[in-house]
């Protein structure tokens, strides 16, 4: 691989927008701005964590990135090439896959484990004989800690953690470089979550994978991510190195999120001041003018209502969208 390729991000998203038209009655509709001008890049073998409360648009980012939803606007680049045509999307989907949140509804109950994992192989014609197909399926099962006798069983015979492993094996079947992990552990028991997270990390080392890891559990995200982007109401409000964003959050929303993360040391926990946000998240149908967070922000001024803050780099690799970031930190 040339040095240029190594230096170039594997995935790049520029000003991505995803609006859904919602009917408001009497032949009128209004755009719901689920994703409203999001930009980020992910380097090879890196994990970018995407965090935020439910409904902030993080899952929509993942699905729009893979063209499961056609983007309303913006550009998606993969390996230095913009994804535009149907053929681009088809080629991209052989290199990029998704692990879904719910291991119960994302697997077909009428298919055996072997057929679930083998389905992407069938769609993309990735084998030359039945024997090669079977070998590949057993190899992917081995990667995720399932053994060969599981192949002929059905998904409903497995626990949630094992089902998620089947889903992960299916996502590996096309030999991808990039995986969007959409809250892959949030439906699992806490004791199983750590096993699955560790497996994601092992697979990344073994297969050289790149992840967009979407979650609302901040401890999980910190454990697996190299960098973290914080999302609020369709926009990214802060992005930085994982440790940096935990130790020095700059945006008022990130500060509130980080203050809610449980700390195992009771002395530190007592010293930490929990920041409680006033009010509820506004609806993306009626988002506030200017800064999306201003209706809940203790530092909001008239400028925050009048102007959308620019998402800018305030220190190396640390980006924030806040008019008053210098004053409040």
- In a domain, residue 186? The reply is yes
- In a domain, residue 5? The reply is no
Give the CA angle between residues 111, 115, 120 to the nearest 5°. 120
- In a domain, residue 58? The reply is no
Bridge partners of residue 231, in order along the sequence: 236
Comparing 102-116, 252-266, 270-284, the range with the smallest average pLDDT is 270-284
Q: Give 20-79 pLDDT, tens digit per residue.
A: 999 988 888 999 999 999 999 999 999 999 999 888 999 999 999 999 999 999 999 999
Mean pLDDT, residues 197-214? 97
- In a domain, residue 125? The reply is yes
Comparing 15-19, 177-181, 255-259, 266-270, the range with the smallest average pLDDT is 266-270
Q: Give 125-146 pLDDT, tens digit per residue.
A: 999 999 999 999 999 999 999 9
State the Cα–Cα distance between residues 118 and 169, nearest whole angstrom: 9
The domain total for the chain is 1
Domain of residue 281 covers 44-50+91-227+241-328
Q: Environment class of residue 301 by beta-carbon count within 10 Å: exposed (0-12), middle (13-18) or buried (19+)?
A: middle
- In a domain, residue 140? The reply is yes
pLDDT above 90 (res 218): no
- In a domain, residue 33? The reply is no
pLDDT above 70 (res 1): no
Query: What does pTM read for this prediction?
Result: 0.93
Give the CATH number of the domain where residue 213 resides: 3.40.50.300
Mean per-residue pLDDT over the chain, rounded: 92
- In a domain, residue 70? The reply is no
Region of residue 60 (phi > 0: left; psi between -120 and 50: alpha; otherwise: beta): alpha
State the Cα–Cα distance between residues 320 and 313, nearest whole angstrom: 6
- Nearest partner of 103 among 168, 57, 191, judged by Cα: 168
Q: What percent of the chain has pLDDT over 90?
A: 77
- In a domain, residue 18? The reply is no
- Nearest partner of 179 among 187, 170, 188, judged by Cα: 170
Q: Which residues contact 258 (CB under 8 A, 6 or more apart)?
A: 218, 245, 246, 249
Instruction: State the DSSP code for 248.
Output: S
Q: Give 78-87 pLDDT, tens digit per residue.
A: 999 999 999 9
pLDDT band at 266 (very low <50, low <70, confident <90, very high): confident
Q: What is the CA radius of gyration of the chain?
A: 21
Bridge partners of residue 77, in order along the sequence: 12, 82
């Amino acid at each position: 691989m040339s040095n240029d390729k190594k230096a170039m991000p594997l995935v790049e998203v520029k000003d991505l927008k995803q609006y859904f038209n919602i009917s408001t009655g009497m032949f009128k509709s209004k755009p719901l701005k689920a994703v409203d001008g999001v930009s980020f890049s992910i380097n090879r073998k890196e994990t970018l964590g995407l965090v935020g409360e439910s409904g902030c648009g993080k899952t929509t980012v993942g699905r729009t990135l893979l063209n499961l939803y056609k983007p309303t606007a913006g550009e998606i680049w993969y390996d230095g090439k913009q994804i535009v045509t149907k053929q681009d999307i088809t080629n991209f989907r052989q290199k990029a896959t998704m692990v879904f949140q719910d291991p119960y509804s994302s697997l077909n109950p009428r298919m055996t484990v072997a057929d679930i994992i083998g389905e992407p192989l069938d769609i993309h014609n990735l084998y030359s004989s039945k024997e090669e197909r079977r070998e590949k399926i057993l190899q992917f099962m081995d990667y995720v800690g399932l053994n060969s006798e599981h192949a002929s069983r059905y998904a409903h015979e497995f626990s949630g953690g094992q089902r998620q492993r089947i889903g992960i094996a299916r996502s590996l079947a096309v030999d991808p470089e990039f995986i969007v992990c959409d809250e892959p552990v949030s439906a699992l028991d806490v004791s199983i979550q750590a096993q699955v997270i560790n497996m994601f990390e092992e697979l990344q080392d073994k297969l050289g994978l790149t992840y967009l890891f979407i979650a609302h559990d901040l401890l999980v995200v910190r454990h697996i991510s190299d960098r973290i982007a914080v999302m609020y109401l369709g926009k990214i409000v802060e992005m930085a190195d994982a440790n940096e964003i935990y130790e020095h959050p700059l945006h008022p929303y990130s500060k509130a999120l980080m203050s809610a993360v449980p700390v195992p040391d009771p002395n530190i926990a007592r010293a930490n001041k929990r920041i409680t946000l006033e009010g509820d998240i506004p609806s993306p149908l009626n988002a506030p003018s200017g800064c999306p967070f201003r209706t809940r922000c203790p530092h909001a001024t008239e400028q925050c209502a009048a102007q959308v803050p620019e998402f800018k780099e305030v220190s190396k690799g640390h980006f924030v969208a806040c008019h008053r970031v210098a004053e409040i930190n």
